Structure 1
Amino acid sequence: MQALESFIHFALNWYWVPLLILYIGLIGAILIENRNPTKTIAWILVIIFIPFIGLILYYFFGQKFVKVQKIKKINRQQALRLQYQWKRLEPTMESFIRDIHAEIGDLSRVFRLMKNERLSSPTLDNGVRLLINGEEKFEYLKNDLSHARHSIHMEYYIFEVDNIGREILELLEQKANEGVAVRLIVDSFGSPDLVKYMRKNKDTKILFQPFLPVTFTSLANSNYRNHRKVTVIDASIGYIGGINISDRYINADDSTDKVYWRDTSVRIEGMSINMLQIGFWNSWNQTDGEPFLLEQGYLKVIQDEEERKKGKASVGFVASDPASVGPFNMEALLIAIGEANTKIQLCTPYYIPGEELERALIIAAAAGVEVELMIPEKSDSNLVHFASFSYLKPLLERGVKVYLYKKGFLHAKTVNVDNKLAFIGTVNLDIRSFYINYEIAAVISDAQLCGQLGNQFEEDKLYSHHFTLNEWKKRSRWKRGLDSLCRLLAPLL
């Protein structure tokens, strides 16, 4: 009994010693990792000022992705497998970039980035169709799925088992039973209901793989999400954008109590689909799914010149993941912003830009480019919402126009530069999308599509409030204080 009392007395008086050693060791480990300094400081502040809970948060969400080295190895292996074809296409890619430069000038440097970093081969003569909201996308998607003859590849962050989700699943099952190769990847964190549904559906012929399965031992990996929304059909038709498979993206005419969702995707036809297919192949090889060879009919082969021309769009894709050697989506945006001459229009649901993007937008505005940023008036995340407002003041002070979308929730992730170059994809203008998530964006040079995107931005402005610097200054002190507090956590969001 006396020994127990002595132990309790020792523990109560000296508990801080092992805790101090743990804190010093953990902070030292964070410093040794050589992360972004802002993120390093943010995690150290969380660990110090939120005792115990900070340690738990770091354990689950702060550690470097345990599979990063494995993903880097896979990326290297697959790059080597494509190396011969890439070298063979070098003269063609250079010719395409010269043609693109003749159309859009130095904005073509974005396509050169894609080529030099081997992200995507630039392609010409693609057909593109802008799709606004789920009610447009799903009609085209269901029709294209029903006509599939060889393969269907889908990769989604959110795939709900709701009305539209079940419709899509029925179509996929039907096509799989007809002999079409159907492969479906969903993010385990974003689509838990579908993961459970597919585990119960043992008889399905759909080749299904959850991406980064979340268990208690791998809970830290849930911080790294496959945020992509991609479909590839018969190596001929592709879909990419912000619209997941979910009823929330469908704005029915008779819906009065449902939040209006404003989003954007694009349907693409042409040789660029080969690049999208290779991207899916890369994702599939990071799951436990049985490998497949691209040469088995999964790449589009053009028989004649007439078949190659689906439209007038130049298209490439910028993909990034936690193991990427750089934040490629941000780098592509920085190039485009730096080459803008007249106007930049940006839509994002989450604006936590980091210093590089913030400074690029400020410089563009100061140099006489009209820069317009649209974000939701109300977000689905209060923490992100307040953090976003802390980043608006420097923009407003330097002439960037900010619009708060009021009609519903703005979920579109688009950038339109000079009505000559468009980014449409899954990438939010935040640190998570640039550095942490698996993301992808289509980069499109097409006068008609860019004009439509510009017109849509003007229409969205009719449902938005032009937020001024004076209004920002009139916000209450507690709100501005909350903005600043949430900003401290911004690198971790």
Structure 2
Amino acid sequence: MREYIDPVIVFLEQWGWIPMIFIYLGVIITILIENRNPTKTISWVLVIVFLPFVGLILYYLFGQKFSKVKKMKRINHEQSLRLKKEFQRLEPLMLWSIRNIHSKIGDLSRVYAYLKNEKLSTPTLNNEVTLLNNGEEKFPVFLASLEAAKHSIHLEYYIFDIDTIGTQVLELLEAKAAEGVKVRLIVDSFGSPKLVRYFRNKKDSLIEFQAFLPVTFTSLANSNYRNHRKIAIIDGFNAFIGGINISDRYINPNSHKLYWRDTSVQIKGNAASMFQISFWNSWNQTEGEPFQLDEGYIKETAIVSEDLSAVAIASSDPGSLGPFNMEALLISIGEANESIRLCTPYYIPTDELATALKSAAAAGVKVELMVPLEGDSWIVQHASLSFLKPLLERGVQVYRYKRGFLHAKTAIIDGKIAYVGTVNLDFRSFYINYEVAAVISNKAFCKSMEDQFELDKQDCELVTLKEWKKRKPWKRGIDSLCRLLAPLL
């Protein structure tokens, strides 16, 4: 046996580099002909070249454009065709709503026209919106809404922990299902592995449960695509959206001893129909038994607010025709006249977003960006820091939140329009993950958002260009190295 193995080993030692070169060239050529974003292309080439073997594994797991994306695009197209007639029927009402919104907020209303034209959402006016900061504000309202459910409960979450709040929600869902309420639950299989195992072993559950994009050995290459959404729809007219997952970590104080600053919003009214459609789209991409929206899941409400309460949703996923969430935000940034206030835990911007913010600041718009002082990912944190200096040089005011971890994903433009959702200001949220955001125009709500931003600034340190330039060279070097991976994070 040894006489047979030795020549093989000798051959590999002398000539093994030849097939490896062909493998490397094949992978690099594949990346080039996929016509990716040039920055992302260069990043993957650098990873593969400078991290032998490891780079190939990383590319296999996270870099390839798999047939799964083609399937996602096909599903999106099919869903759009199914909704086409409904959008055509609502066209006159949507145009009337947009004119109404324009009369109150001017050209900022263009984002609602964009969402209509891309058939992402119908702009609705009959809504009530309530700002819910942190888990300690959200969960009491959330649990009360679940308790009051009469027809259906639809939940879609990235993280659903089986801890104190998670167990409380599960028990309530089982109780409501026993009462005859239709309960459907989608969680991301990567974000909620314990819950996936829980339902795998619980055969008597009345909850219709689905794990989104299950992660198995054969599907590791597709594990890069995650469902990062956090939405709930109760009885077709009561919806929740924001950055808050179902976990004790989001409730202050908590056993993790880390203050968690996050934002959610409760929306009652016709806009909940758009969240219902979003959930329906996700459910149709699982193995769950199909249901029809006209089976009582869409409710038209008679809510009429004295103040304009316009709500639409922006959603995107790997199969989207474009980075819809980024484009929706860019439209509002481009129309800003007075102020732009952004909160994000991860600032790894696309060139388009970075240029828009710097241009707005240079044009005299007050641009403020709030990020965590300490992130929850070492590489992501340092990559984010590398993008701050160009902003400071153009007059953007950068605040680093130091009380705890800032996880809120929000934007307020001119105090007239607000974004609250699951979308981070990074490549992953814009291009890879399943994401969703509510686009809200309500005077009182936007005022509450701005008041909270000002309150959070008291727990921040303001970054100045002068002080930033004094950072030690080795720290700036680490930032720059991590930045090379930015398009891949």
> Aligned partners of 1:338 and 1:200: how far apart in 2?
51
- Look up the equivalent residue of 1:368 and give its one-letter code: G
> Aligned partners of 1:309 and 1:289: how far apart in 2?
37
Which of 432, 437, 443 is the equivalent residue of 1:436? Answer: 432
Structure 1 residue 147: Cα displacement: 0.5
> Aligned partners of 1:325 and 1:186: how far apart in 2?
24
1:342 aligns to 2:338 (yes or no) = yes
> Aligned partners of 1:193 and 1:445: how far apart in 2?
38
Q: Is the 8 A contact 1:269 1:310 kept in 2?
A: no
> Aligned partners of 2:255 and 2:462: how far apart in 1?
25
- Aligned residue for 2:351? 355
> Aligned partners of 1:349 and 1:327: how far apart in 2?
19
1:280 aligns to 2:279 (yes or no) = yes
Structure 1 residue 63: Cα displacement: 1.1
- Aligned residue for 1:369? 365
Q: Is the 8 A contact 1:127 1:310 kept in 2?
A: no
Q: Secondary structure at the match of 1:443?
A: strand
Which of 377, 389, 410 is the equivalent residue of 1:393? Answer: 389
Structure 1 residue 256: Cα displacement: 8.6
> Aligned partners of 1:164 and 1:322: how far apart in 2?
31
Q: What is the TM-score when the length of structure 2 is the normalising length?
A: 0.98
Mapping of 1:240-255 within 5 angstroms?
A: 240-252=241-253
- Aligned residue for 1:217? 218
- Aligned residue for 2:13? 12
Q: Is the 8 A contact 2:249 2:255 kept in 1?
A: no
> Aligned partners of 1:32 and 1:91: how far apart in 2?
44
Structure 1 residue 307: Cα displacement: 4.5
Structure 1 residue 310: Cα displacement: 9.0
> Aligned partners of 2:211 and 2:44: how far apart in 1?
29
- Look up the equivalent residue of 1:278 and give its one-letter code: I
* Structure 1 spans left out of the alignment, 5+ residues: none
- Aligned residue for 2:299? 300
Mapping of 1:97-116 within 5 angstroms?
A: 97-116=98-117
Mapping of 1:73-472 within 5 angstroms?
A: 73-252=74-253, 258-302=257-301, 306-307=302-303, 312-472=308-468
Q: Is the 8 A contact 1:386 1:482 kept in 2?
A: yes
Q: 1:284 to 1:155 in 2, by over 3 A?
A: same
* CA displacement 1:357-379 (0-9 Å, x = unmatched): 00000000000000000000000
Q: 1:246 to 1:46 in 2, by over 3 A?
A: same
Q: Is the 8 A contact 1:187 1:211 kept in 2?
A: yes
- Look up the equivalent residue of 1:344 and give its one-letter code: I
* CA displacement 1:415-453 (0-9 Å, x = unmatched): 000110000000000010000000000000001010000
Q: 1:426 to 1:486 in 2, by over 3 A?
A: same
Q: Secondary structure at the match of 1:85?
A: helix
- Look up the equivalent residue of 2:413 and give its one-letter code: V
Q: Is the 8 A contact 2:237 2:300 kept in 1?
A: no
* Alignment root-mean-square deviation, CA: 1.2
- Look up the equivalent residue of 1:482 and give its one-letter code: I
Structure 1 residue 471: Cα displacement: 1.6
- Look up the equivalent residue of 1:248 and give its one-letter code: R
Q: Is the 8 A contact 1:133 1:261 kept in 2?
A: yes
- Look up the equivalent residue of 1:47 and give its one-letter code: I
- Look up the equivalent residue of 1:204 and give its one-letter code: S
> Aligned partners of 1:107 and 1:95: how far apart in 2?
16
- Aligned residue for 2:475? 479
Q: 1:287 to 1:308 in 2, by over 3 A?
A: farther
* CA displacement 1:134-193 (0-9 Å, x = unmatched): 001000000000000000000000000000000000110000000000000000000001
Structure 1 residue 125: Cα displacement: 2.5
> Aligned partners of 2:331 and 2:312: how far apart in 1?
15
Q: Which moved more, 1:58-67 or 1:164-173?
A: 58-67
Structure 1 residue 257: Cα displacement: 6.6
> Aligned partners of 1:310 and 1:70: how far apart in 2?
44
Q: Is the 8 A contact 2:154 2:232 kept in 1?
A: yes
- Look up the equivalent residue of 1:459 and give its one-letter code: L
> Aligned partners of 2:75 and 2:469: how far apart in 1?
49
Percent of aligned pairs sharing the same letter? 63
Q: Is the 8 A contact 1:270 1:310 kept in 2?
A: no
Q: Secondary structure at the match of 1:124?
A: coil
Q: Is the 8 A contact 1:65 1:224 kept in 2?
A: no
> Aligned partners of 1:312 and 1:265: how far apart in 2?
20
Structure 1 residue 301: Cα displacement: 3.3
Structure 1 residue 311: Cα displacement: 6.6
Q: Secondary structure at the match of 2:218?
A: coil
Q: Is the 8 A contact 2:346 2:380 kept in 1?
A: yes
> Aligned partners of 2:4 and 2:293: how far apart in 1?
69
**How many pairs align?**
488
> Aligned partners of 1:209 and 1:308: how far apart in 2?
36
> Aligned partners of 2:298 and 2:208: how far apart in 1?
19
Q: Is the 8 A contact 1:229 1:243 kept in 2?
A: yes
Structure 1 residue 309: Cα displacement: 5.2
Q: Is the 8 A contact 2:409 2:423 kept in 1?
A: yes
Q: 1:177 to 1:89 in 2, by over 3 A?
A: same
* Structure 2 spans left out of the alignment, 5+ residues: none
Q: Which moved more, 1:258-267 or 1:192-201?
A: 192-201
Q: Is the 8 A contact 1:127 1:312 kept in 2?
A: no
Q: Secondary structure at the match of 1:69?
A: helix
Q: Secondary structure at the match of 1:315?
A: strand
Q: Is the 8 A contact 2:270 2:299 kept in 1?
A: yes
- Look up the equivalent residue of 1:271 and give its one-letter code: N
Q: Is the 8 A contact 2:325 2:430 kept in 1?
A: yes
- Look up the equivalent residue of 1:416 and give its one-letter code: I
Q: Which moved more, 1:80-89 or 1:154-163?
A: 80-89
Q: Secondary structure at the match of 1:123?
A: coil
Q: 1:451 to 1:301 in 2, by over 3 A?
A: closer
- Look up the equivalent residue of 1:87 and give its one-letter code: Q
Structure 1 residue 200: Cα displacement: 1.2
Structure 1 residue 8: Cα displacement: 2.6
Q: Is the 8 A contact 2:111 2:331 kept in 1?
A: yes
Q: Which moved more, 1:314-323 or 1:57-66?
A: 57-66
* CA displacement 1:109-133 (0-9 Å, x = unmatched): 0001100000000000210000000
Q: 1:237 to 1:359 in 2, by over 3 A?
A: same
Mapping of 1:39-78 within 5 angstroms?
A: 39-78=40-79
Q: Is the 8 A contact 2:101 2:308 kept in 1?
A: no
